Amino acid sequence: MAKIIPFKAVRPTRDKVSLLAARSYDSYTPAQRESRLRDNPFSFLHIVNPGYKYHKEISGEERYSLVKNRYQEFKEDGVFMQDEKPCFYIYKIVNRDGIEFNGIVAAASTEDYKNNVLKKHEETLEYKEVVFKEYLKTVGFNAEAVLLTHPDNEALSAIVKNVMKTRAEYEFTTTYRDTHYLWNVDDAEIVKKISGIFSEMESLYIADGHHRSASSFLLSEDLKEENNNHTGNEPYNFFMSYMIPESNLKIYEFNRLVKDLNGLSKEEFLIRLDAVFRIENRGLEYYKPTQKQNFSMYLDGEFYSLYLRKNSYTINNALDALDAQILYTTILKPILGIKDLRNDKRIKYTDGKSDMAYVQTIVDTGEFTVGFGLLPVTVSEMKSIADEGLKMPPKTTFVLPKLRSGVTVYEF
């Protein structure tokens, strides 16, 4: 059963929250980062990029120590405050497309991660886990919540809706045109009800943040070894998460771009494809997949539809049935020679929010030769893969919502 607990968040004062909140560092272009760092002294980017103060790129342990220093400075200057009582934080986002997300920010258990109560569907890279663990160990806080999804629950939804009738602690709109709301819930009775509802759930699923959750687990193992008086209730045994109902999760696909045809001519490539797919040339007609096991392809100025030949492919488990896995097994690996989806520089991924029009534009520039479009993964597919203990190929899901860094901070 899931152990989800309230915590005392460190968070910006109400007058500073809109200035401080930031997207993940890598989501900004260099020019956007420079603009925000130059013009906004309260941006959370100043904490995660402490070298800006010295006009210098800093990495490794030196950067981690400076991140910690910059964070402490923000606290000393009164930009941050900390709640006196443990809270659950109801967080609502209305994004620029009008889609609304409602969930609860809380602390999830690293023991639940270890015991697969928090189920995973995505492979992680060990070196990334270790690097982020060392970062967390040095800075002593986490400002970016892991996204967890849970079965829809009427009692939990009723609590959330009732709290949202009151005035929000935060309400701010970003330059990205998303509006964020946050309510802190410290009423003992409501806190107990929320914890009780989660404790009755057999499992939750990691929707986004596999590396962050893995790193938090590794950190808890390290600190447990170092603490002779370990009880299991220390803050390092938990990590900040955003719990959202399955029906409220929005999953986009990642489309694929490949630089070349692996030495094949266009005609040779199409003949190889024909052995596994029924191919229709759509010409200039913009085409997106319409059903599972159906792909769109853009090659040499034309769109194609690819329909998997059922007698050419065997499905033995939930992963085999996944479109991203089918594409890898039938085209990317055997025909285009891309074996390592994480590290091969011949392949690029673009999230489905940019759609096949973006794929077409990039291929037409000549930077890439061929692009493939997929349908998004469903929540049911994601859960089936996690339940079977399998892992999706990298860059299979682009999941919303995305919380802003720094709105709630978890210290350990």
Percent helix, percent strand, percent coil in the chain, to nearest 5: 35, 25, 35
Q: What is the pTM of this model?
A: 0.91
Domains and CATH numbers, the chain: 4-250+400-411 (no CATH), 253-395 (3.30.1760)
Mean per-residue pLDDT, 182-191? 98
Task: Note the pLDDT tens digit of each residue in 122-176.
Answer: 888 788 999 999 999 999 999 999 999 999 999 999 999 999 999 999 999 998 8
Tell me the CA end-to-end span of the chain in Å, nearest whole number: 23
The mean pLDDT of the chain is 96
Mapped onto helix, strand or coil, the DSSP state of residue 284 is coil
Mean per-residue pLDDT, 348-376? 94
Mapped onto helix, strand or coil, the DSSP state of residue 89 is strand
> DSSP string of 144-189?
SPEEEEE---HHHHHHHHHHTTSPPSEEEE-TTS-EEEEEEE--HH
Residue 218: pLDDT band with limits 50, 70, 90: very high
> Over 90: is that where the pLDDT of 55 sits?
no
Considering only residues 89 and 24, tell me which one the structure prediction assigns the higher pLDDT. 89
Which H/E stretch holds residue 46?
Answer: helix 45-48
pLDDT score of 126: 87
Weakest-pLDDT range from 6-20, 71-85, 209-223, 342-356 = 342-356
pLDDT score of 316: 96
Question: Which amino acid, residue 294?
Answer: N
> Over 90: is that where the pLDDT of 52 sits?
yes
Task: Note the pLDDT tens digit of each residue in 244-266.
Answer: 999 999 999 999 999 999 999 99
Mean per-residue pLDDT, 346-369? 93
pLDDT score of 125: 79
> Could you give the CA distance from residue 342 to residue 25 in angstroms, rounded to a whole number?
20
Task: Note the pLDDT tens digit of each residue in 292-344.
Answer: 999 999 999 999 999 999 898 999 999 999 999 999 999 999 999 999 998 89
pLDDT score of 394: 86
> Over 90: is that where the pLDDT of 100 sits?
yes
> Could you give the CA distance from residue 247 to residue 270 in angstroms, rounded to a whole number?
39
> Could you give the CA distance from residue 116 to residue 147 in angstroms, rounded to a whole number?
16
Which H/E stretch holds residue 244?
Answer: strand 238-245
Residue 191: pLDDT band with limits 50, 70, 90: very high
Q: Are the C-beta atoms of residues 398 and 147 closer than 8 Å to each other?
A: no
Q: Are the C-beta atoms of residues 306 and 296 closer than 8 Å to each other?
A: yes
Q: Which residue has the tokens 């319409």?
A: 290
> Over 90: is that where the pLDDT of 43 sits?
yes
The pairing of beta strand 238-245 with beta strand 146-150: parallel
Residue 353: pLDDT band with limits 50, 70, 90: confident
